[in-house]
Amino acid sequence: MSEIRLMIVDDHPVFRQGLRDVLEIVGDMEVVGEAADGEEALSTAFDVKPDVILMDINLPTINGLQVTRRIKSQMPDTKFVMITGYDDAEQVFHALSVGASAYCPKDITPEALIEAIEAVQAGQYVVGEKVMSYDEVIDWVEDKFGVGQLADADDSLVPLSPREMEILEHVTHGMSNKEIAFSLGISHQTVKNHMTSILRKLRKDDRTQAAVYALSRGWVRLEQMRNE
């Protein structure tokens, strides 16, 4: 097997260093880049072009799901291993639907992480510590959500678009639709239309429920809210 070129994306330097220490003792793996936030992850990925990216979801500036989707759209051969503390089936589906091949908890053992990286590089999928083929992961998705193909997922299961996420971030800051429209330079009606789409996709009844959902899954950071 040729050397696997890796990139680590996490805002905690100690965690990044820990991953680097684990991975660099493996003879056929090399860490070629690191990033501490979403924007840095985008620029670094396009610069170093890694084979596999270890991606946290709860990132400053742009969350890991959005970053994954943007990189995957331009670098489709890049594999993604999501390493996160947000562990539920719906979040796993969100990760798979944007192009991730593996979803692992942050307390994963070094041995299991290495196996996951090798599996996704070989074209397989990993959820928890279970290695699956594409057909097997589709069966898992269908069993959990009644969706036969990731690409055919109902809108309510697909992560928000970049503009919808931007609007939801403003909602978590307590801004009204009118204030959001002014801040983003778009019409009040456009904001209302986006909010309708956000609530439908997240299956929530109101803005507060949508904001709590985003916060609980690391899509928006409390630190980010306090700093703005």
Pairing of strands 29-35, 102-105: unpaired
Q: Which residues contact 92 (CB under 8 A, 6 or more apart)?
A: 103, 127
Residues 121 and 114: beta-carbon distance below 8 Å? no
- Mean pLDDT of the region 78-89: 87
**pLDDT value of position 148:** 53
**pLDDT value of position 225:** 47
What number of helices (H) and strands (E) belong to the chain? 11, 7
Q: Which domains does the chain have, with CATH numbers?
A: 4-152 (3.40.50.2300), 160-227 (1.10.10.10)
Judge whether residue 151 has pLDDT over 80.
no
Helix (H/G/I), strand (E/B), else coil: 181 = helix
- Mean pLDDT of the region 161-165: 82
CA atoms of 64 and 93, how far apart (whole Å): 14
State pLDDT tens for residues 5-37: 999 999 999 999 999 999 988 879 999 999 999
The band of 157, judged by pLDDT with boundaries at 50, 70 and 90, is very low
Least confident stretch, 86-100, 176-190, 195-209: 86-100
Q: Which residues contact 139 (CB under 8 A, 6 or more apart)?
A: none
Least confident stretch, 57-66, 160-169, 181-190: 160-169
